[in-house]
Chains A and B, each alone.
Chain A
């Protein structure tokens, strides 16, 4: 019996229930990963700098994220008297929402089958399969900048303003390269739906049956796009070699200088949520999403965690770029490379 796809028009209540469950599971899982990403980051960076990292709160310091959260929750929430209070409150929310919302189009696994009322239903392990998924993600990444810029403007502080200005320039220049590197992917896959892109990547490598033991992950045919995407997305989410908007040594704390308590926690959550989102997107676009040796979402999580480890590793290793180096890398190296990549991909598609 072929499973029936659950739709809103045929079984509205069941559909709504399943949808809510999916949203809650994805949201809670993301929040948990965010919380423990902070722990993992502190622990791994600590070890890499031959320190211990948090190890006092609970066994091996495992309760540290909860303690941090509680502490920030009970701190005084300060709004500077000269700040624009509405924008000041809005900014952390505006930065957090796009970070979380991109998760909704990411496929975590294959179909989930269950029987209800004698009918076998198939539910995709993905909150929603937009047919413009990639475009949606790029748009949300662009929206994330507004939160930072707004925080910088509303704080009425020179450091925050400088952080905001820097982030505007940085995001604009790197979004171009990232967007163009993704273009090469959907030239190959001929679909913008992330689910479709993952399905294409489960075919044998380069369409050759003799290579069927290697999946057709786009990292193999688009290594340059992959590198550009990883570097560019690191810049987009303000991870360390590109963390100029919050450069601690120059700008105190950049755009979140004036924030305290839970608003500050929101900025931090957004940073790590962004890291998860970017890892998930890179996994889906280049590493074959949930495909792999284990059961669906386990593969997906392994790849995401590997990416996050890589980002943390980079942070522990490299110093921050200078501002002109950042602009040079973005406009003079990454953008031309991305364009060249598109041209080469186009020629290759025309020839084969």
Chain B
């Protein structure tokens, strides 16, 4: 019994030594995210426009039905999304849209600090998604 007591005490004493702290001082210091981390979406830009060709695969596959796409055609006759909106309050960050995309036009970044003050701020439009 006393051996176990001593063992427990020695473990806690070992932890007391400097260099054993596992806390990450969060706002000051952030952990590196894994490459497969599913954070905020990003529309990948090409030369002068977004890569997206408005094929409607991502709103189709989306289980949370949070993606709104409206397709249009530009002067060169290429399809592009006139509206590409993700409702972040509905999004479940499953990453199916990224898997479904044939053009690799949508990907997920490691941004996870998505809190905001009003509901409208959670509607991420095309311009915001291109910049993120």
Contacts and interface: CB of A to CB of B under 8 A. Distances in A.
B16 A47 contact: yes
Contact of B25 (A52, A313, A317): A52
A44 interface: yes
Interface string A84-105: 0000000000000000000000
B22 A316 contact: no
Interface in B2-32: 5, 8-9, 11-13, 15-16, 20-23, 25
Interface residues of A, number: 12
A50 B12 CA distance: 9
Nearest to B9: A317
A313 B12 contact: yes
Interface in A21-72: 44, 47-52
A44 B16 contact: yes
B94 to A, nearest CB: 33
B21 A316 contact: no
A48 B23 contact: no
A318 interface: yes
B8 A50 contact: no
A51 B15 CA distance: 10
Nearest to A315: B12
A316 B8 CA distance: 10
Nearest to B22: A50
Given A47-B21, A51-B23, A52-B25, A313 B13 contact: yes
Contacts of A318: 5, 8
Nearest to A49: B15
B13 A50 contact: no
Nearest to A319: B8
Contacts of A316: 12
Contact of B21 (A51, A314, A317): A51
Given A44-B16, A47-B16, A52 B21 contact: yes
Contacts of A51: 21-23
A52 B25 CA distance: 9
A52 B23 CA distance: 6
Contacts of A313: 9, 12-13
Interface string A108-152: 000000000000000000000000000000000000000000000
Nearest to A314: B9
A84 B13 CA distance: 45
15 contacts: A47-B16, A47-B20, A48-B13, A48-B15, A48-B16, A50-B21, A50-B22, A51-B21, A52-B21, A52-B25, A313-B13, A316-B12, A317-B8, A317-B12, A318-B8
Interface of B: 5, 8-9, 11-13, 15-16, 20-23, 25
Given A50-B21, A51-B21, 13 more contacts: A44-B16, A47-B15, A47-B21, A48-B12, A48-B13, A48-B15, A48-B16, A50-B20, A52-B25, A313-B12, A316-B12, A317-B8, A318-B8
**6 smallest beta-carbon distances between A and B, as pairs:** A48-B12, A317-B12, A52-B23, A50-B22, A317-B8, A48-B15
